[in-house]
Amino acid sequence: MNVRKTVTVVEEVRVEGERAVSPPATVAVVAAVIRNPWAGQGFVEDLGPGIDANASDLGALLAPAVLEELGAPAEAYGKAAIVGLDGEIEHGSALIHTLAFGDHFRKAADATTLLPAVEKRGAAGIVFDIPLKHVTDATIRSHHQTVEVRIADAPHPEEIVIALAAAAQGRPQQRLAAFSTERDPSA
């Protein structure tokens, strides 16, 4: 795993809808900017060796770091893979859609749900939104949210940005009813 740098973003929302949010709604993101393990190789049929060499180490690096930055138990979480222009979206997907990567975060967060994800290709400085969902119940509406991220100089064409995000709560001032209380429109 060739990490050029890591980037941390911590957002604290203190006012939403002209009302105080107390305690502040906190979301943390930790991203690693890595060299694409398949860069310069043309089309690679078997991504397995690159996955084996990188996915678990990335999860082990990012999972404890994002929870430490959050400073509270995670209630919502998500992940991202942003591939530089010389790579394939499949390269990012290969790294984040494995148990070797995701289980580090699930175990550290005491989570049971699938990690929602964004994957895309783009130039350095691309803006991307990481979707978040509740760590144990994906139907809890209050925790369906996104966090916007931008790294000014990444990804380079032969890099991938791999990021994890965690929230200590649902959306600030959330007030939608639970899915189970919604009336069936076919009734």
Domains and CATH numbers, the chain: 3-181 (3.30.1330.110)
Choose among 122, 108, 175, 183: nearest CA to 150. Answer: 122
Both tokens assigned to 73: 């138990």
Q: Which residues are bridge partners to 149 per DSSP? A: 128
The conformational region for residue 104 under phi > 0 = left, psi -120 to 50 = alpha, else beta, is alpha
Quick check: 171 and 25 in contact, CB under 8 A? yes
Quick check: 94 and 51 in contact, CB under 8 A? yes
Write down the mean pLDDT value for the chain: 94
Q: How far apart are CA 113 and CA 110, in angstroms?
A: 10
Per residue in 26-74, pLDDT tens?
999 999 999 999 999 999 999 999 999 999 999 999 999 999 999 999 9
Q: Are strands 127-134 and 117-121 parallel, antiparallel or unpaired?
A: unpaired
Q: Which residues are bridge partners to 6 per DSSP? A: 32
**Confidence grade of residue 187 (pLDDT, cut at 50, 70, 90):** low
Per residue in 109-133, pLDDT tens?
999 999 999 999 999 999 999 999 9
Q: Are strands 76-83 and 117-121 parallel, antiparallel or unpaired?
A: parallel
Choose among 162, 168, 163: nearest CA to 135. Answer: 168
3-state helix, strand, coil split of the chain in percent (to 5) is 25, 35, 40
Q: How far apart are CA 33 and CA 89, in angstroms?
A: 15
Supply the pLDDT for residue 52: 97
Q: In Å, how far are 76, 90, 120, 145 from 133, measured between CA atoms?
A: 5, 23, 19, 7
